[in-house]
Structure 1
Amino acid sequence: MTNKIFLQAMLLASPLYFAACKNGDSKQTFEAADKKTDTTMHASMYTASMVDNIKDPACGMPVTAGIGDTAHYKNHVIGFCSKECKATFLQNPEQFITQLQLKTQ
């Protein structure tokens, strides 16, 4: 009985699936997946060893948790967890400079 209900549900849903494909909805899904992959690949390009700071100065997140973007500031490479934190920092770097925890050389 359960298999019969499942098959009926699949048969009823299949026209909706194919209709969505014809309308281009599947393309949007693939584009969203590609953007997520691009972001993941971009974030993995940076490692904690590539930057001079220990924590993201804008939010305090450790750079070992992941670096989404970097900036050069006063002869240092600063790692940020996201582009948003980088943008926040760059709007007023002096506000965050006291929170910038640099690695000891």
Structure 2
Amino acid sequence: MKIYIGLFIITALAACAGNSGHETPVQGDSSMAVAPEEVQYDTALVANRRDPVCRMPIKAGIYDTAHYQGAVIGFCSGACKDSFLLNPAAYTLVMKEATPGTK
């Protein structure tokens, strides 16, 4: 019984710790503002086909971007972006093919 109570308390504290309080209601709207990790970018805006860190295809979703060597690079998360920016040379970029008729 003590184990179940302990697990309940730990779960409740973890849930409260996950709520950072940085979300603010939008003026005139009862919904909460979108957290940064929930914002998705259009895949047409980036030059890469895969996240250079985790290798996930960008068509699965882009949640952060960075400018690198004159191109916008898409990432699946802020953590992947941060890892890339620490040492970009350690990662291989898989870039999109140029479409015919474009430079």
Task: Please classify the TM superposition score into its range, dividing by the shorter chain length.
Answer: 0.5 to 0.7
> Is residue 2:82 matched to residue 1:87?
yes
Secondary structure at 2:35's aligned position in 1?
helix
Q: Which amino acid aligns with 2:55?
A: G
2:60 aligned to which of 62, 65, 69 = 65
Question: Could you tell me which residue of structure 2 aligns to residue 20 of structure 1?
Answer: none
Once the two structures are aligned, what percentage of the paired residues are identical? 43
Aligned residues: 74
> Is residue 2:73 matched to residue 1:75?
no
Question: Could you tell me which residue of structure 2 aligns to residue 103 of structure 1?
Answer: 96
Question: Could you tell me which residue of structure 2 aligns to residue 51 of structure 1?
Answer: 46
Q: TM-score, normalised by structure 2?
A: 0.61
Distance 1:54 1:77, change over 3 A: same
CA deviation after TM superposition for structure 1 residue 42, in Å: 1.9
Q: Where do 4+ consecutive residues of structure 1 move more than 2 Å?
A: 37-41
The CA distance in 2 between the partners of 1:38 and 1:82, in whole Å, is: 12
Structure possessing the higher radius of gyration over alpha carbons: 1
CA deviation after TM superposition for structure 1 residue 63, in Å: 0.5
CA offsets 1:2-49 (integer angstroms, 9 cap, x no match): xxxxxxxxxxxxxxxxxxxxxxx8xx6x85x947x3236522xx1111
Distance 1:65 1:89, change over 3 A: same
Distance 1:48 1:34, change over 3 A: same
Q: TM-score, normalised by structure 1?
A: 0.60
Unaligned runs of 5+ in 2: 1-15, 24-30, 99-103
RMSD across aligned positions (CA): 2.8
Unaligned runs of 5+ in 1: 1-24
Q: Which amino acid aligns with 2:35?
A: D
